[in-house]
Amino acid sequence: LAKEQQLVTVSCAKVMVKFPVSSVVLADYMKGKHKSLQEKVFQYFREHPELQTPVEISKDEHRELTMRQLLGLVREAGIRPLKYLQEDPVQYFSLSEAAGSIDLSLGIKLGVQFSLWGGSVMNLGTQRHRDKYYAGIDNLDYLGCFAMTELHHGSNVQGIQTTATFDVSTDEFVINTPNEGATKWWIGNAAVHGKFATVFARLILPSEECNDGLDMGIHAFIVPIRDLDSHEPLPGVEIRDCGYKVGLNGVDNGALRFHSVRIPRENLLNRFGDVSRDGQYTSSLPTINKRFAATLGELVGGRVGLAYGSVGVLKMAVTIAVRYSLLRQQFGPPKQPEISILDYQSQQQKLMPMLASAYAFHFATVYLVGKYSDMKKSQDEEEIADVHALSAGLKAYVTSYTAKSLNTCREACGGHGYASVNRFGILRNDHDIFQTFEGDNTVLLQQVAGDLLKQYKAKFQGGTFNVTWNYLRDMMSTYLSEANPVIARREGEDHLRDPKFQLDAFRYRTSRLLHSAALRLRKHSKTLGSFEAWNRCLNHLLILAESHIESVILARFIEVVNSCKDRNARAVLKLLCDLYALERIWNDIGSYRNVDYVAPNKAKAILRLTEYLSFEVRSVARELVDALGIPDFVLRAPIGMQSGQYTEYTQFVGF
């Protein structure tokens, strides 16, 4: 009750400074060593206003501008994406976030060129490929594509139908698109700029037993698609344009069909499987499935980048929405000045947990990028599996959250949020596909669920959990022990803000979902078979995966709070962390209530405290968005400028 009174009495007043936090200290803590490279990118664009993407731009102009932006970064600003990707991935991802803040089309074009095309050559090929292609990829002479997806097969990569048949008489592979459905589709860089493509195809070897040859499974091949000098499509390569998209129109997605295109044998990216001059297949990996997993496993960098980049978008959106909500005054007590819309509880509820989430996701994806970087060095199998599941889960969870938040921000900023110049529409359209490409979110969450179940099963057979999953080790004994009726009723602020209570609650939920999913799957498999049983439990499995990812994010956030040395910054981070945790618990309060993990009085206390913490975060909202560190000329939304002035807005729309 005391809290409620406090809320009522101060809700309209100027808020007291309870958290004297410096946004500079906070920004430093957030960015760490990423800062200088991002500043270099920003500096380049600050000096080149002609490279700024305008709000109104045609598809063709946008494609050319994005290309010029990328060329400028690499050839004028001296940015070396491929070098960073190979030698210091942490730098690479921070570069990609900065490029994406300039224009998401630029971030994705950069990703296609370096993560996908460059990454496939470097990681799936061997030294001869690196020797031949590194310089051209690095300096953008060799612009390239990543041709995996087909018209009829996206997520089901094993179903793709393009073939690469070895012709022993000429020592070549013959690349073929056997039917319309096997046309490579959505291929970035294909419609206009690409010279090469990494083409994923079934490797077919001639065989005496079988007329159609032996299908060795999916392999990757370097296929030149345009002449290096004339830029004309090469013989047998048919290129079409995928046309105008909902967003990301600066990226030239195209379709590719191959009509018996011949490439030398050495163009097979042969790290995981090779073909000798006389047509013999060799591989260090014993089965098609293992080779396939190893091949796709090398591509996890794309997901890591998308998770990280999506947080960048969330930061921009929440910055604009918070600044506008501080600026905009609307209604107020009788005969008194109007109040900021951020002083309304409803606006706080929309934006403050989102601000807390932006911080939570920032730390979680920084952690992921660090793990990815370590994994690249160690090549440790356990670490590889861990990064794989974590990147799938974070990519899915964060991009879905950001996509929803972009809508919420637009709505929270009323009519002005609808002006294109204020960015929400552009960001929403550009970011929307993050939920689908590089692994559809619904498919990725199933991989996380599958991984959890695998480890759960292994546990009963005496196995151990991966590092990130470690908490599940204690699951049976701690989290699933009967919900404690005394704890279920505890509602004091100290208790609700105790990280132990919060983590226990998250982990209890995950453990329960995991345990019950395993039981249900076992039961249904007996009658339906495993495929149908999985489908019968699908929604349950998706929630399980999300719940697990939420736990991982919270655990990371708690660690970050504890290791922050600056007392004021730590207090604010703790506030954000508590808000993140309690809002998530409240979002699924029904599940906690159903099993009496939380009694009615406690549920109510969680809601009240969530509202109160949102109110407290509001008092430092300006500092918190400033600390996200996005310069005005990058943000470019007149309603979201750091100065908090409207004036520029009217100029922008031509008054």
Residues known to be catalytic: 438
Query: What distances in angstroms separate CA 518 from CA 477, 510, 522, 594, 596, one per listed residue?
Result: 17, 12, 6, 20, 22
- 185 sits near ligand HXD (criterion: CB under 6 A): no
Binders of ligand HXD among residues 125 to 184 (CB under 6 A) are 146
Question: Which region, judged by CB under 6 A, interacts with ligand HXD, from 109-117, 159-167, 268-276, 638-646?
Answer: 109-117
Closest distance to ligand HXD from the beta carbon of 369 (Å): 10
Give the separation between CA 350 and CA 498, rounded to whole angstroms. 24
Reported as type and span, the H/E element at residue 508 is: helix 499-536
- Indicate which single residue of 66, 115, 198, 365 sits in contact with ligand HXD (rule: CB under 6 A): 115
Residue 633 per-residue DSSP state: H
Question: Which region, judged by CB under 6 A, interacts with ligand HXD, from 49-57, 185-193, 508-516, 581-589?
Answer: 185-193
- 438 sits near ligand HXD (criterion: CB under 6 A): yes
- 389 sits near ligand HXD (criterion: CB under 6 A): no
Neighbouring C-beta atoms of residue 17, cutoff 10 Å: 10
367: its two tokens? 């952690």
Contact by Cβ (8 Å): 260, 236:
yes
- 186 sits near ligand HXD (criterion: CB under 6 A): yes
Place of tokens 């619904």: 442
- Indicate which single residue of 82, 104, 108, 558 sits in contact with ligand HXD (rule: CB under 6 A): 108
CB-nearer residue toward ligand HXD: 150 or 626: 150
Please work out, in degrees rounded to the nearest 5, the angle formed at the alpha carbon of residue 392 by the alpha carbons of 177 and 247: 65
Query: What distances in angstroms separate CA 376 from CA 85, 135, 297, 299, one per listed residue?
Result: 10, 21, 12, 12
Place of tokens 């990147």: 391
Q: Which amino acid is at 138?
A: D
- Indicate which single residue of 250, 273, 305, 353 sits in contact with ligand HXD (rule: CB under 6 A): 305
Question: Which region, judged by CB under 6 A, interacts with ligand HXD, from 304-312, 396-404, 531-539, 616-624?
Answer: 304-312
User: Whose CA is closest to 15, among 621, 447, 541, 632?
Assistant: 621
Closest distance to ligand HXD from the beta carbon of 96 (Å): 4
CB-nearer residue toward ligand HXD: 111 or 629: 111
Closest distance to ligand HXD from the beta carbon of 507 (Å): 31
CB-nearer residue toward ligand HXD: 187 or 641: 187
Write phi, then psi, for 464 (nearest 5 degrees). Answer: -125, 165
CB-nearer residue toward ligand HXD: 148 or 634: 148
Query: What distances in angstroms separate CA 605 from CA 3, 277, 384, 485, 567, one per listed residue?
Result: 10, 72, 41, 16, 27
Binders of ligand HXD among residues 238 to 257 (CB under 6 A) are 251, 253
Taking CB under 6 A as the rule, which mask of x and - marks residues 202-241 in contact with ligand HXD?
Answer: ----------------------------------------
Contact by Cβ (8 Å): 323, 639:
yes
- 112 sits near ligand HXD (criterion: CB under 6 A): yes
Burial, 171: exposed, middle or buried (Cβ in 10 Å; 0-12, 13-18, 19+)? middle
Give the separation between CA 542 and CA 295, rounded to whole angstroms. 25
CB-nearer residue toward ligand HXD: 273 or 305: 305
- Indicate which single residue of 45, 53, 63, 111 sits in contact with ligand HXD (rule: CB under 6 A): 111
| Size of the chain, expressed as the number of residues it contains | 655
- 439 sits near ligand HXD (criterion: CB under 6 A): no
- 599 sits near ligand HXD (criterion: CB under 6 A): no
- 437 sits near ligand HXD (criterion: CB under 6 A): yes
- 318 sits near ligand HXD (criterion: CB under 6 A): no
Residues near ligand HXD (CB under 6 A): 96, 108, 111-112, 115-116, 146, 186-188, 251, 253, 302, 305-306, 309, 437-438
